[in-house]
A and B are shown apart, each in its own frame.
Chain A
Amino acid sequence: MFRMMGIAAIGTALAAAAYAQDVHSGPTTRAIAEDYLAAYSIKDWDAVREYYSESAVFIDPTSLELGFNNPIQWTGADQIISGIEGWGTSLLQYNVHNVYEASGRVVFQADAVVTYANPDGDVVMNYPITTIITVTDGHVTEHRDYTDFAGASRVEEN
């Protein structure tokens, strides 16, 4: 990180920003990530599948808190979608506080508002989350979550 901040500090920031826009950055990458996350949020798996590259990975290093033997690391659309379906959620909405993109990675600082369908009524949980979507050649190659499972709170519905 320091190299880039250093460039800014010594007065060539505009050139560096232009380089970033031309080479690594651009609206397409961010738009792809946002559209993917929108489809993911409503579990539109046909649409989600179209975004994934063949070797796409879904990672959550924080997920050991859930009682898995290993943190989540799924590869390929089939394994990823099957894994997410195993959560038993009906909605995975994002309340995004900040979103930014650099070097093909789109970072969402957010709360994930997750709805679990229960016979006795839906249960809605709020999880603070950072989600980082890597986009390469127009496809999502990595979905990386860092989730505050222990800090989740239940959302009371009206």
Chain B
Amino acid sequence: MLRKILIGLAALSCVSAPAFTQENMSDAERIAREYMMHYDALDLDAMEDYWADDVEFFDVTAMGPETGPDGIAMQSGAEAREMLSDFIETNQPIELGFEWHTIFESNGRVIFMGEVNALYPTPTDGQVFRWNAEQVTVITVRDGQIIRQRDFANYANPDRSLVRVP
């Protein structure tokens, strides 16, 4: 039975390709894509508009001297906003520079697979610092709002470089 369902879903997907047009995109995927554009730009006011009252944030891959083995868990938008604000104030990021090679939605979860290319200013004109790492982000959408965000990034082995501004 399950095999028939799997094969049936696959056949349906072949008929409905291509996947990423406005016409066949689910509301959850549209909302998550919009949200991730604001996340990329670190537009906190815009991001906050998408959060449900009980939104949660998890990053089990986060690591550092102040981070435990289970990474980061935040149980409210206020907590996330405070961390983001501190990050922006301290580091003045230009953008997070997400590049997603695969995006899909299933059961209200929108999965972004790709990498982050965060850019930061440097004292040298025409030069920025780039922090590049593979990343997966999973956005859970319910009733038109984001209730959960999970990030999984390659903090252990990012690529760091100074690059010329194009």
Count of interface residues, chain A, beta-carbon cutoff 8 Å: 58
Q: Which of B30-38, B45-53, B156-164 contacts A (4 or more CB under 8 A)?
A: B156-164
Which of A33-41, A43-51, A58-66, A73-81 binds B? A58-66
Q: Which residue on chain A has the smallest CB distance to residue B24?
A: A150
Q: For residue A63, which residues in chain B have a CB less than 8 angstroms away from its CB? A: 106-107
Q: Are A154 and B3 in contact, CB atoms less than 8 angstroms apart?
A: no
B113, A25: Cβ atoms closer than 8 Å: no
Contact of B147 with A by CB under 8 A:
no
Interface Cβ pair total, 8 Å cutoff? 190
| Chain B interface category by residue count | 35 or more
Q: Which of A63, A64, A128 gathers most chain B CB within 10 Å?
A: A128
Give 3 closest A-B pairs by Cβ, nearest first: A62-B106, A2-B87, A100-B154
Residues of B within 8 A of A (CB): 2-3, 5-7, 9-14, 17, 19, 59-67, 69, 71-72, 83-84, 86-87, 90-91, 93, 101-102, 104-107, 109, 111, 113-114, 116, 118, 120, 129, 131, 133-134, 136, 138, 140, 151-158, 160
Q: List 12 A-B contacts (CB under 8 A).
A: A5-B91, A5-B93, A5-B116, A6-B90, A8-B158, A61-B107, A65-B107, A66-B5, A98-B113, A107-B154, A132-B152, A149-B6
- List the interface of chain A (C-beta within 8 A of B): 1-10, 13, 16-17, 19-21, 23-25, 61-67, 71, 86-89, 97-98, 100-105, 107, 109, 114, 116, 123, 125, 128, 130, 132, 134, 146-154
Known interface pairs A1-B59, A146-B106, A149-B106; 19 further A-B residue pairs with C-beta atoms within 8 A, sorted by A's residue number = A1-B155, A3-B67, A4-B153, A10-B90, A13-B158, A13-B160, A19-B63, A63-B107, A71-B107, A87-B2, A87-B3, A98-B113, A102-B153, A103-B69, A116-B3, A130-B111, A132-B152, A151-B13, A152-B10
